[in-house]
Amino acid sequence: MRAIEQANQELQAGRPWRAKEILQGSLRHAGYDVELFEKLGTVLLTMGDLPEAGRYLFLSARRDAKYDEAIRIFISRHRNDVGGLYQTFPRVAKLNSLSEYPEPLRGELEKLGFPQRLKDKFSHTLTNESDDRLGTLIGFGILGAVVMLLILGVIKIFEIVHWITHR
């Protein structure tokens, strides 16, 4: 893979941030690529970004003792929120069903409580229902505030017109 070769060159030149940019930029075009995920994870690991490194090392399905802490930190942030964990995956890693993930990741996702189908026939992804309800409530709250401001604005305009005409 060209991106991994370029990233290796940047790492040898002492520019891990550039290697990270190259790898992240190639994510959306690569599809689900365990090598790319592992390389990006190791770059982030050398940069000290354990939660982000954990995300990509987890998705790489490659397990190594030096990856354990980063993966543990990443998973612990979403341990009781399967939908939230799934939403942190990059778009190319949001597969349709659990069976599409490589082992041992598939088994780990099962243990975490992931359902077999991750997207419905309309490509709606697995989400946390309480987050959806909260978002809906916030949306209605904002809409209500905007309507109230409009009503108050119209009332104020009538008051100003009344004041000008009865002066």
CB burial of 1-30 (b: ≥16 within 10 Å; e: otherwise) equals eebbebbeebbeeeebebbbebbbebbeeb
Whether residue 96 sits in one domain with residue 43: yes
Q: Containing domain of residue 54, as a range?
A: 2-121
What does the pLDDT read at residue 128? 45
pLDDT-based confidence at residue 130 (cuts at 50, 70, 90): very low
Work out how many domains the chain is built from and give that number: 2
- Helices 2-12 and 16-30 cross at an angle (nearest 10°) of 170
What does the pLDDT read at residue 125? 59
pLDDT digits (tens, 9 = 90+) for 39-54: 999 999 999 999 999 9
pLDDT-based confidence at residue 136 (cuts at 50, 70, 90): confident
Name the 3-class secondary structure at 158.
Answer: helix
CA triple 121-127-132, angle to 5 deg: 110
Average pLDDT over residues 67-74: 96
CATH number of 90's domain: 1.25.40
Whether residue 166 sits in one domain with residue 96: no
Whether residue 91 sits in one domain with residue 21: yes
Asked whether the CA dihedral 120, 122, 127, 129 is positive or negative, the reply is negative
pTM for this predicted structure? 0.70
C-alpha of 80 from chain center: 16
Measured CA to CA, the distance from residue 3 to residue 7 in angstroms comes to: 6
Whether residue 38 sits in one domain with residue 18: yes
Whether residue 105 sits in one domain with residue 33: yes
Whether residue 152 sits in one domain with residue 96: no
pLDDT-based confidence at residue 120 (cuts at 50, 70, 90): low
pLDDT digits (tens, 9 = 90+) for 73-118: 999 988 788 888 999 999 999 998 999 999 999 999 999 999 988 8
Whether residue 167 sits in one domain with residue 152: yes
